[in-house]
């Protein structure tokens, strides 16, 4: 389907009837990183199912709610639960949430995800600030007729993970008990985890971590001119790094374990942006 601006505007107009302020920062929370959402003061919660033209989360560890409110005195909107291509959504559909945030007036986007470590120096529980990404799989979410209202047909992605925000994130990491890195995220479509051979190939290509989300949202944000920060919580060593099978349980448990410290760190970022 070819979307029009009005299509996205219908979602934003509905949300404006529920919320009487303009959020400055839009946050997308990855698997089990929900505790940040619980720190939002005076929350206004809107179920995705109630928003016209929005998508529905089908993954158990994703809540499926937009939460508006304040964090450290800043107005935020937080997507507690995101959408992935492995749920059956097309890349084209995956532009919807970020475009709605843009129409709501958000000025900065922070994307978070759970990821597997390809870099052998990383450990579960570490955090990676995305410097760049590799996406060899799948289309661009910006494929199809271009909506000039959002951005140009051809757009630069050489600074898509905003350098100033990356610097801020690394500076603030010094105050966090967590271990931080800056690195390259490689997108795999899932839902299967990668094969050990795919992980060896990813390492050869320069990837530090792998995951099944984030790049569609990142490309959509950059296309419409939104400054962007993306953070991976390392939940496991990627396939074949250790001599053991991967499981969703391991990913969820690792994310849950650091979600408190990660949420504290996120608050310092929102306060400083």
Q: How far is the CB of 57 from ligand HPA (least distance, A)?
A: 16
If one asks whether residue 235 binds ligand HPA (CB under 6 A), the answer comes out as yes
Q: How far is the CB of 192 from ligand HPA (least distance, A)?
A: 9
> What is the 8-class DSSP label of residue 240?
T
Alpha helices in 206-247 (DSSP H): 215-223
Q: How far is the CB of 61 from ligand HPA (least distance, A)?
A: 11
Question: For residue 2, how many other CB atoms are within 10 A of its CB?
Answer: 8
Whole-number Å distance between alpha carbons of 140 and 142: 5
If one asks whether residue 115 binds ligand HPA (CB under 6 A), the answer comes out as yes
Alpha helices in the chain (DSSP H): 5-18, 35-38, 96-104, 163-173, 196-205, 215-223, 248-272
If one asks whether residue 265 binds ligand HPA (CB under 6 A), the answer comes out as no
Residue 114 token pair: 């759970």
Site for ligand HPA in 185-214 (CB under 6 A): 188, 193-194, 210-212
> What is the 8-class DSSP label of residue 86?
G
Q: Which one among 81, 116, 151, 240 touches ligand HPA, defined by CB under 6 A?
A: 116
Site string for ligand HPA, 163-182 (x = CB under 6 A): --------------------
Interface region with ligand HPA, contact rule CB under 6 A, candidates 104-112, 177-185, 221-229, 234-242: 234-242
Whole-number Å distance between alpha carbons of 247 and 33: 17
If one asks whether residue 27 binds ligand HPA (CB under 6 A), the answer comes out as no
C-beta closer to ligand HPA: residue 4 or 247: 247
């Amino acid at each position: 389907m070819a979307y029009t601006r009005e299509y996205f505007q219908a979602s934003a107009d509905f949300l404006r009837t529920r919320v009487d302020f303009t959020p400055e920062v839009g946050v997308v929370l990855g698997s089990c990183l929900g505790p940040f959402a619980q720190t939002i003061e005076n929350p206004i919660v809107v179920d995705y199912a109630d928003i016209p033209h929005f998508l529905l989360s089908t993954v158990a560890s994703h809540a499926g709610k937009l939460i508006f409110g304040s964090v450290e005195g800043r107005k935020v909107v937080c997507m507690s639960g995101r959408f992935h291509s492995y749920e059956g959504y097309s890349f084209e559909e995956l532009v919807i949430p970020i475009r709605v945030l843009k129409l709501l007036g958000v000025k900065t986007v922070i994307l978070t995800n759970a990821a597997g470590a390809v870099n052998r120096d990383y450990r579960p529980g570490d955090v990676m600030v995305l410097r760049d990404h590799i996406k060899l799989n799948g289309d661009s979410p910006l494929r199809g007729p271009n909506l000039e209202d959002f951005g140009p047909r051809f757009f630069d992605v050489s600074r898509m993970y905003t350098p100033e925000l990356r610097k801020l994130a690394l500076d603030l990491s010094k105050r966090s008990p967590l271990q931080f890195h800056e690195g390259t995220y490689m997108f795999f479509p899932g839902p299967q985890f990668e094969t050990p051979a795919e992980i060896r190939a990813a390492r050869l290509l320069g990837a530090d971590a792998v995951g099944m989300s984030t790049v569609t949202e990142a490309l959509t944000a950059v296309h419409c001119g939104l400054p962007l920060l993306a953070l991976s919580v390392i939940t496991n060593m990627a396939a074949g790094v250790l001599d053991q099978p991967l499981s969703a349980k391991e990913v969820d448990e690792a994310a849950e374990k650091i979600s408190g410290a990660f949420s504290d760190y996120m608050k310092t970022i929102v306060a400083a942006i």
